[in-house]
Amino acid sequence: MQNKEPTDKICSKCLISKNIKREFYLAASDTISVDGRLCICKECISSLVDMDNVETLINTMRSIDRPFLSSTYEGSLTKANSFGEYMRMLATPQNREKNYLDSEFNKNQSSHSNKKELKSFHEELELNDDGFTKDSIKTLKKKWGDFENEDYEFLEDYYREYANTYDTNTPVQIMLYKNIAKVHLQAGKELSQGNTKQYKDLMELSSKLHNDGNIKPIQNTGANEDRGLSTYGLWIKEVEKEEPCEFFEEKAQYEDYDSFNKYWEKWFVRPFKNIFNISNDFDVGEDDEK
C-alpha cells in the first residue's frame, strides 16, 4: 500500500507537531525542505517580530532567508494582523521565490542593504564563466544530475513554471515536473540539430508524462486574467476543503424544500395531539400537488 504524505511536521522552535499547510509559511524554495515550507511555525515566527520595530522584522527575514521589502512592509502596517499580511504578500507569485538577498530597503534602512552583503559574498566565492558558484553547481548537480551549466538555468526555469502553476504537494509530483523539464531540454536540443524523429519521440514521452500525472490546463492556479471562472472554482474548492460549509442566509426558504416536515406535522403530530386532547384539529384539507 502506498504511504500517505505527512500532513504535520514539528516546529524547530517550539517542537510541537502542527499542520504543514496551515501552520507554516512558504519557504523561498524546496531545496532544503521538500514540502516547501519553513521549519519554524507561524506562531513562533510571529513571536519574534514587533511590526512597530522594523529591525525585528529585518532580522527575522534574514534568519529564515526571506526578503525584507520596504514598500510591502509599509503597506502591511494598515492591516490588523500586519505581520500575517506581510507574509501573505511574500507568497504572491512575484515574491514567492525571493530570498533575503532580494531585499529592498529605503534610504533610512541603508545600513541593512543586502547590496553590500551581496558584493562581499561574490568577492569571497569563485565564480565561473556562467555566474555559478561551486556550491550552487554542487546543489544543482544533486538536484538534476550532470548537465551543462546553461542547461541548469533552463531546467530551473522550466520546473519553476510548473511548480508555480500546479500542485507540488507530493514528491511524486515534484519528480514528475523535473522529468518533464529534462525531456523538453533534450527535445529542444534534438530539434535544433534537425533530429525530428527524436524530437517527436520526446514530445510523445512528454505527453505520456502529462497524462500519467493527470496534468491538464484546468488544474492551474488561474492566475491569468481570462481565467476568472477557473480561479473562482479553485477558491470554492479550497474553502470546501479547509473550512466547514455555512448554512444559507435565507435558510427558511430551503429548510423544508421537499415538504417532509409539513407532511410529518399533518399526518403524525396532528393526530397524536388530537388523541391526547392537546388539540382538536380534524380539518386536514387536501395535500398540495407537490
Res 152: pLDDT: 84
Q: What are phi and psi of 94, to 5 degrees?
A: -70, -20
Res 252: pLDDT: 63
Give the CB-side neighbour count of residue 32, counting CA atoms within 13 A. Answer: 9
Res 82: pLDDT: 93
d(Cα 34, Cα 37) in Å, to the nearest integer?
8
Helix, strand, or coil (residue 61)? helix
Res 41: pLDDT: 93
d(Cα 198, Cα 6) in Å, to the nearest integer?
39
Instruction: Give the helix ranges, DSSP H, for the chain.
Output: 20-23, 42-48, 54-63, 70-76, 82-90, 114-124, 134-144, 149-165, 171-192, 196-212, 228-242, 260-264, 270-275
d(Cα 246, Cα 165) in Å, to the nearest integer?
29
The CB density around residue 82, as the number of other CB atoms within 10 Å, is 17
Q: Measured on CA atoms in the order 163, 114, 58, 15, is the torsion positive or negative?
A: positive
d(Cα 180, Cα 253) in Å, to the nearest integer?
52
Res 243: pLDDT: 57
Mean pLDDT in consecutive groups of 10 residues from the start of the chain, 290 residues:
75 91 85 79 93 91 89 90 92 87 77 53 46 71 83 86 78 86 89 87 88 66 47 64 56 68 86 83 63
Q: Which residue has the cell 507530493?
A: 170
